[in-house]
Amino acid sequence: MIDTKNRTFLHVIILIVGGLLFVSSIILDKIDSFWGGLGIAMGILAIARLLQVARISKNEDYAKKWNTNKRDERNIHISTEARSKTFYFSVLIEGILIIVFTALNMVELTRFLSFLITGQLIIYLFIFFALKSKY
């Protein structure tokens, strides 16, 4: 089963941080409005997760179903495949954008995307070799 106390604590902390960002940005106008929007998003996410934790702790059938879904090999495989395809398409799209931005002489964006794609591929290689040596 899941540890509802740790999850509750974590999500309450996220809710507090989100609230502080919102108050500091929108109400007190001390920081940029971006942080207020981020605070609202964090708050909404934390509330949704707290409601889920409450449902898991109160409803035994839902907790069992949730726990089974988290450990189901098919779901794990689908999740891994989705992450793999997301990485593949993001690198592909970044490569295309590098070509487009180079043609449009947008040097800063080209440089940023080049660093991003290089970093992603380096991280991929490190993780690949780490996992390969593990198995």
pTM over 0.75: no
Structure confidence at residue 60 (pLDDT): 87
Domain ranges for the chain: 4-71, 73-134
What are the C-alpha distances in Å from 18 to residues 22, 23, 30, 38, 75?
6, 9, 15, 7, 31
Structure confidence at residue 2 (pLDDT): 62
DSSP 27-87: IS--S-HHHHHHHHHHHHHHHHHHHHHHHHHH-HHHHHHHHHHHH-HHHHHHHHHHHHHHH
Series of mean pLDDT values for 10-residue runs along the chain (135 residues): 80 95 87 90 96 90 85 89 94 95 95 95 93 87
Q: What is the DSSP letter of 1?
A: -
Structure confidence at residue 86 (pLDDT): 94
